[in-house]
Amino acid sequence: MFKPLTQAVQLGYRTAFNLFEWPMAGAQRLVGISRVAWLFLLPNLLIFGLFTFLPIILNFFYATTGSDAILLSQRPYVGAENFSSLLSCTDYLDPNSCRRDVFWRAVYNTGWFVVLQVGFMIAFSLVTALILNRDIPLKGFFRGVFFYPVLLSPVVVALIWKWILQRYGIFNAGLEDLGLAPVDWLIDAHWAFFWIIFVSIWAHMGFYTLILLAGLQAIPSDVYEAAEMDGASRFRVFSKITMPLLMPTMVVVVVLSLIRAVQAFDEIFVLTGGGPGSATTLILQYIYETGFASRPQLFGLAAAASILMAVVLLVLTLLQLRATRSQAEG
Binding-site ranges for other proteins (CB under 8 A): 220, 222-223, 225-233, 236, 240-241, 244-245, 330
Minimum separation from the CB atom of position 146 to other proteins (A) = 27
Minimum separation from the CB atom of position 169 to other proteins (A) = 47
Half-sphere exposure of 118 (CA within 13 A, CB side): 21
Q: Which helix (H) or strand (E) holds 181?
A: none
Q: Which amino acid is at 198?
A: F
Q: Which is nearer to other proteins, 176 or 230 (CB)?
A: 230
Per-residue burial over 145-180, b if 16 or more Cβ lie within 10 Å, else e, is ebeebeeeebeebbebbbebbbeebeebeeeeeeee
Among candidates 58, 109, 112, which has minimal Cα distance to 283? 109
Q: Which is nearer to other proteins, 226 or 321 (CB)?
A: 226
Minimum separation from the CB atom of position 122 to other proteins (A) = 20
Q: Which is nearer to other proteins, 21 or 225 (CB)?
A: 225
Q: Which is nearer to other proteins, 77 or 235 (CB)?
A: 235
φ, ψ dihedrals at 314, nearest 5°: -65, -45
Q: Which is nearer to other proteins, 99 or 139 (CB)?
A: 139
Minimum separation from the CB atom of position 233 to other proteins (A) = 7
Minimum separation from the CB atom of position 229 to other proteins (A) = 5
Q: Which is nearer to other proteins, 156 or 251 (CB)?
A: 251
Q: Which amino acid is at 93?
A: L
Minimum separation from the CB atom of position 141 to other proteins (A) = 20
Minimum separation from the CB atom of position 253 to other proteins (A) = 18
DSSP of 259-313: HHHHT--HHHHHHTTT-STTTT--HHHHHHIIIIISSS--HHHHHHHHHHHHHHH
Among candidates 326, 309, 327, 330, which has minimal Cα distance to 114? 309
Bridge partner list, 77? 65
